[in-house]
Amino acid sequence: MVRNSVKFVPWKDYKELTADLKRIYQSVTEQEASLELDSFSEKWDEKYPQISKSWRANWVNLVTLFDYPTDIRKVIYTTNAIESLNSVIRKSVKTRKVFPSDDAALKVIYLAVEAASKKWTMPIRNWKSALNRFMIEFEEQLAPHI
């Protein structure tokens, strides 16, 4: 959401605007985030009205972030790993266009992820604290996999 918001923001406003957006998604509660969005709107709507309009239009989806503890939220809104994985999948599927079956498509995706995972050397930031929180919050769901 942040990348989409700053797509057309000139460099001179970029740092200040992203700092204000950060106050929204790093808020502790949904109410605090809503107040920060109002504050953002007052400050930036004259120059960039589409940003707050977009955040308000997607607010129902965005507030689900506040259902999770801070450790998990940091992993969620730091989406580089997710975007990297999506890129790998899109690239592998795009080159083949047509698959004889669903299993063939799954095999291509699996092999692409396997090949890409060998290149991933950087750990996800704050992953250990997030993993601990995942274990606390979702113990029943994770137990069979550990």
Select the highest-mean-pLDDT range: 72-76, 109-113, 140-144. 109-113
DSSP conformation letters of the chain: -HHHHTTT--HHHHHHHHHHHHHHHT-SSHHHHHHHHHHHHHHHTTT-HHHHHHHHHTHHHHGGGGGS-HHHHHHHH--HHHHHHHHHHHHHHHTT---SSHHHHHHHHHHHHHHHHTT--SPPTTHHHHHHHHHHHTHHHHGGG-
pTM equals: 0.64
Instruction: Look at residue 83 and tell me whether its pLDDT is greater than 80.
Output: no
The residue among 41 and 80 whose pLDDT is bigger is 41
